[in-house]
Structure 1
Amino acid sequence: MVVDDEALVRSGFDLILSAADDIEVVATSVGAEAVDTVRRERPDVVLLDIRMPDVDGLTVLGRLRALPEPPVVAMLTTFDADEYILTALRSGAAGFLLKDTEPDQLAQLVRTLVAGGVVMSPKASRAVWQNHPGAAVVDDEDSTRVGRLTEREREVLVLIAEGLSNADIGARIHLSAGTVKDHVSAILTKLRVGGRVQAALLAQRAGLLDEGQRDGEAGPGSGR
């Protein structure tokens, strides 16, 4: 389901996603109607505009997260350094997409969301942190948490932050799905975070994505 106040964005995303054989756009909506439409249509994923004139996306996100069976929600934004992105991620969004995302990437990003992955490109997430310097400070407790991770867990954390699902992580570093699941559980426990998005944010804040990209130049851990 696509929620945006601009008809052109709604119709464009609908057209692009509906062309994929494995994706069905069950509805499009504007902000004020979004929650009722989600209750009626029960989509797996909602792409939600972060800035709308009648009701802002953060308010809609909060209402969707309060539903008994909330959908996965990713925010739509025009600006990769949108000041509201960080708040949305901390409020339960599974990531964010820029509205000018290449059409051939859009369907794959939706598949990533359905598979439990995080949609948050390293370039765009760095812009978020760079424009919120106070949020970018890694305190001693964060450093201690990251220090608890094994080398393999750090590698898995970088791939979580790249947006990979457990299955994709397993394929990338040649581990079984069960082993990856165990690593993810250990990472969330050691970092004391509530989910993959919060882990990805901490990884970004700690500079692990930059480390992963440098290491990836000579090995299999490089980013997509």
Structure 2
Amino acid sequence: MIRVVIVDDEALVRSGFELILGAAPDVDVVGTSSGGGAVEMIGELHPDVVLLDIRMPDVDGLTVLGRLRELAEPPVVAMLTTFDTDEYIVTALRSGAAGFLLKDTEPDQLAQLIRTLAAGGVVMSPKAAATLLHGDNKLGRMAATDAEVARIDALTDREREVLVLLAEGLSNAEIGQRIYLSVGTVKDHVSAILSKLRVGSRVQAALVAQRAGLLAGQREKP
């Protein structure tokens, strides 16, 4: 079972997501909370995935995310937002979020997105992914630092291949299917990539790949 906690200041949103996910045989919503009590609840329940509202009046989602990242075993966190061009999304992804979900996500897609998150994948809308990695946003315009380029250069050819697929949002299983590797081998490659790039999440690794020009439509590695 994939254990999920939902954090949102609106009770209707919390109950709606809980109802939808409760119908999935492999998802268990173990708790819901507003921002104020979220960190304590999550520390006690140890969920696999947290859906976290990015904008809350009591304690905002970015603050909660920062506190969750300090836990000994932080859960996978996806931000909840109403708009897929929310200005705080880039900050959340830089801070370790594994993507985000729109609050009007189709109900029949929600459980699969949770599975993707639990399996180590990245979830975000195609429009937001394009805005983040290729569009006119502050982070997207940043060039790779000399240190980041050196870390990219330290990757093996296979690790670089896995990094590009990771940046496309593929899970370990999907990457394995694409390049004919076992899930365990892909997991080992991902761990090595995060370590070599000195980042804490797949999204942060994807952003380094973008800044280094590894993604489709960008320059090839010299």
TM-score range, shorter chain: 0.7 to 0.9
1:25 Cα deviation from its structure 2 partner = 0.8
Aligned equivalent of 2:24: 20
Cα shift at 1:19: 0.9
* Mapping of residues 170-181 of structure 1, within 5 Å: 170-181=176-187
Which stretch has the larger CA shift, 63-72 or 9-18?
63-72
Q: What is the aligned length?
A: 212
The structure with the largest strand share of the pair is 2
Distance 1:134 1:198 in 2: 11
Assess, with a 3 A threshold, how the Cα gap between structure 1 residues 134 and 64 changes in structure 2: closer, same or farther: closer
1:167 matched residue in structure 2: 173
Give unmatched runs, 5+ long, in structure 2. none
- What is the Cα deviation at residue 113 of structure 1? 1.4
CA distance in structure 1 between the partners assigned to 2:74 and 2:145 by the alignment: 34
Residue identity opposite 1:13 in structure 2: F
1:83 aligns with 2:94: no
Name 2:99's counterpart in structure 1: 95
Distance 2:212 2:127 in 1: 15
| 2:216 partner SS | helix
Report if the CA contact (8 A) 1:18-1:24 is conserved. Answer: yes
Look up the match of 2:137: 132
1:106 maps onto 2:110 in alignment:
yes
Structure having the larger proportion of residues in helix: 1
The RMSD of aligned alpha carbons is 2.5
Aligned counterpart, 2:66: 62
Deviations 1:44-70 (A, max 9, x none): 211000000111101111222222332
Contact 1:120 1:161 in 2 (8 A): no
- Closer/same/farther in 2, CA of residues 155 and 121 from structure 1, 3 Å limit: farther
Counterparts of 1:195 and 1:159 in 2: how far apart (Å)? 14
Is residue 45–residue 73 contact of structure 1 (8 Å, CA) maintained in 2?
Answer: yes
* Distance in 2 of aligned mates of 1:39 and 1:189: 25
User: In 1, are the aligned partners of 2:21 and 2:27 still within 8 Å (CA)?
Assistant: yes
Letter of the 2:99 partner, please give it: G
Q: Displacement, 1:143?
A: 4.7
Unaligned runs of 5+ in 1: 213-224
Per-residue deviation, 1:162: 2.8
| Partner of residue 198, structure 1 | 204
Q: SS where residue 27 of structure 2 aligns?
A: coil
The answer on whether the counterparts of 2:144 and 2:211 sit within 8 Å (CA) in structure 1 is no
Report percent identity of matched pairs: 72
